[in-house]
Amino acid sequence: LTGTSREQRAFQYLLTHAIPGDPHHILQTFDQWCYHCEHLSCVGPDKGRIVERVLLERAPLRVLELGTYCGYGTVLLAQGMPPGARLYTIEGDARHAAVAKKVIRLAGFSEQTVELIVGPSEEVIPHLREKHGLMNVNLVFMDHWKRCYLRDLQLLESHQLLADGATILADNVLFPGAPHFLQYAKTCGKYHCKVHRARLEY
């Protein structure tokens, strides 16, 4: 009826209620919107705590996010990174990316800290080194189309973009599910796997 998308309406709510430059309050305000107004498939606070714990344990300096959506996960990752770290986030939908960019800037993160790249992940990943100067990554957060998880992991491998000891954190591998990705990760012999049990967002 309003002619605006759910993501745009959520951003308008952020503008009205969130404290600019306060990433934690931005996420809290997002959660309020998703609990009480309209559902968005963001990471959410429960799974967000798992992401925060991994960031604290690993302290990655170069982070890659696949699936920016409207920027919730991006803000979550950026606020948990150590000083001097850089986040590259890829979003295939230009409309979602436009909202995400405003959310990221509202949270106080500059282009020097967070670089938003618009385009299909399978086209962007092979050019991360030459176009964006990303030699390799310490942590990858996958939260895009589940059917793309395995393909994109293998793209990262083939282009030697995973640093030694890199962590791959993949959301919703059990439901809706990414069975081929999960089977590969468990059986290829390259990774130590751990499944974190969590509720669906909101």
Q: Which residues are catalytic?
A: 143, 146, 171-172, 201
Q: Are 168 and 138 in contact (CB under 8 A)?
A: no
Q: Tokens at residue 138, please?
A: 């310490």
Q: How many residues does the chain have?
A: 202
The residues, ordered by sequence, that sit 6+ positions from 6 with a Cβ below 8 Å of its Cβ are: 38, 40
CA distance 51 to 72: 12
Nearest to 21 by CA among 153, 117, 113, 118: 113
The residues, ordered by sequence, that sit 6+ positions from 72 with a Cβ below 8 Å of its Cβ are: 27, 30, 40, 42, 43, 103
Tell me, what DSSP letter sits at residue 3?
S
Question: Half-sphere exposure of 20 toward its Cβ, with a 13 Å CA cutoff?
Answer: 6
Q: Is 79 helix (H, G, I), strand (E, B) or coil?
A: helix
CA distance 122 to 111: 23
Query: Do the strands 162-170 and 86-91 form a parallel or antiparallel pair, or are they unpaired?
Result: unpaired
